[in-house]
């Protein structure tokens, strides 16, 4: 399978036309803690991380979502299923990664899950290039993951207020929903994942205080 060239914006809110309307994978703070969903097209039972929620259309498995997009766009957007893999982090811990292909962007993600199938820890994503085949895309994603796993950004802090400190002046991670805190407080609460470690908003704030008085730049890596 070779991925077609796509003209859609890759970031939410910039997609313009109806073909690529709002869609996201997995639960978010806006959904609440949804469970036990099935695909609206084929009735296949879906784990949290497998569900594509499409505004105004419903919830779909990856295969049905790809079929719908292919029909709408009259282009074979492709579908890719990759079995989980186990990789070692820099501390020698084995970590299991699951994969999800999103035909809308198109991109392939690999991520860790907790026992309730919430995303936790490491997550990596690459975007497909026009003409790239599935095996090459998987290879590129695995290379990105292995490189990141071998280059930790955090180190033990030695401080009592927080467990980890940044190794350098640049740190890269993911903003996720803290579902437990969101339920408890009744408002969206972020959780920050760096190097496979998940930090509450408060703990991340304490880590930032190591740089109290510094200016900073916040850059979201939508196309990384």
Contact positions toward Zn ion, by CB under 5 A?
A: 39, 41-42, 44, 61, 64
Q: Sheet with 58-60: list strands edge to edge.
A: 23-25, 52-54, 58-60
Output the smallest distance, CB 62 to Zn ion, in A: 8
**Counting beta carbons within 10 angstroms of the beta carbon of residue 106, is it exposed (0 to 12), middle (13 to 18) or buried (19 or more)?**
buried
Output the smallest distance, CB 117 to Zn ion, in A: 17
Output the smallest distance, CB 44 to Zn ion, in A: 5
**Counting beta carbons within 10 angstroms of the beta carbon of residue 115, is it exposed (0 to 12), middle (13 to 18) or buried (19 or more)?**
exposed
Output the smallest distance, CB 65 to Zn ion, in A: 8
The β-bridge partners of 59 are 53
Helix then strand then coil, % of the chain, to nearest 5: 25, 30, 50
53/191 with CB nearer Zn ion: 53
Q: Give me 175's structure tokens.
A: 């903003």
40/89 with CB nearer Zn ion: 40
Output the smallest distance, CB 23 to Zn ion, in A: 14
Q: Would you state the torsion angle of the CA atoms of residues 87, 118, 120, 200, taken in this order, to the nearest 10 degrees? A: -170
Report whether 149 contacts 90 (CB < 8 A).
yes
39/113 with CB nearer Zn ion: 39
Report whether 100 contacts 111 (CB < 8 A).
yes
42/147 with CB nearer Zn ion: 42
Output the smallest distance, CB 10 to Zn ion, in A: 24
**Counting beta carbons within 10 angstroms of the beta carbon of residue 14, is it exposed (0 to 12), middle (13 to 18) or buried (19 or more)?**
exposed
2/42 with CB nearer Zn ion: 42
41/181 with CB nearer Zn ion: 41
């Amino acid at each position: 399978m070779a991925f077609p060239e796509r003209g859609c914006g890759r970031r939410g809110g910039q997609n313009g036309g109806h073909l690529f309307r709002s869609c996201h994978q997995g639960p978010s703070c806006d959904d609440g803690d949804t469970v036990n969903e099935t695909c609206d097209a084929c009735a296949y039972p879906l784990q949290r991380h497998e569900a594509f929620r499409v505004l105004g259309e419903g919830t779909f498995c990856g295969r049905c979502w790809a079929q719908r997009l292919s029909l709408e766009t009259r282009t074979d957007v492709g579908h890719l299923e990759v079995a989980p893999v186990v990789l070692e982090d820099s501390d020698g811990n084995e970590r299991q990664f699951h994969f999800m292909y999103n035909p809308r962007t198109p991109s392939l993600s690999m991520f860790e899950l907790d026992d309730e199938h919430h995303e936790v820890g490491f997550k990596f994503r690459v975007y497909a290039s026009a003409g790239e085949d599935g095996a090459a895309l998987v290879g590129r994603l695995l290379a990105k993951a292995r490189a990141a796993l071998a280059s930790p950004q955090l180190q033990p802090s030695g401080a009592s207020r927080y467990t980890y400190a940044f190794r350098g002046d640049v740190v890269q991670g993911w903003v996720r929903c803290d579902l437990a805190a969101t339920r408890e407080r009744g408002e969206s609460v972020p959780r920050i994942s760096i190097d496979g470690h998940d930090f509450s908003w408060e703990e991340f704030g304490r880590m930032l205080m190591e740089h109290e008085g510094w200016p900073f730049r916040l850059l979201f890596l939508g196309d990384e």
